[in-house]
A and B are shown apart, each in its own frame.
Chain A
Amino acid sequence: GAVVSQHPSRVICKSGTSVKIECRSLDFQATTMFWYRQFPKKSLMLMATSNEGSKATYEQGVEKDKFLINHASLTLSTLTVTSAHPEDSSFYICSARDIVGRNTDTQYFGPGTRLTVL
Chain B
Amino acid sequence: GQNIDQPTEMTATEGAIVQINCTYQTSGFNGLFWYQQHAGEAPTFLSYNVLDGLEEKGRFSSFLSRSKGYSYLLLKELQMKDSASYLCAVSRSGTYKYIFGTGTRLKVLA
Contacts and interface: CB of A to CB of B under 8 A. Distances in A.
Interface of A: 2, 4, 6, 32, 34, 41-44, 46, 49, 91, 93, 97, 103-112, 114
A46 B97 CA distance: 8
Interface stretch (B39-47, B57-65, B75-83): B39-47
B42 A112 contact: yes
B98 interface: yes
- Chain A interface SS verdict (over half): strand
B37 to A, nearest CB: 9
B33 interface: yes
Contact of A110 (B40, B42, B95, B103): B42
In which size bucket is the chain B interface?
20 to 34
23 contacts: A34-B97, A43-B100, A43-B101, A43-B103, A44-B100, A49-B95, A49-B96, A93-B42, A97-B96, A103-B50, A105-B31, A105-B48, A105-B96, A106-B33, A106-B48, A107-B45, A108-B45, A109-B35, A109-B42, A109-B45, A110-B42, A111-B42, A112-B40
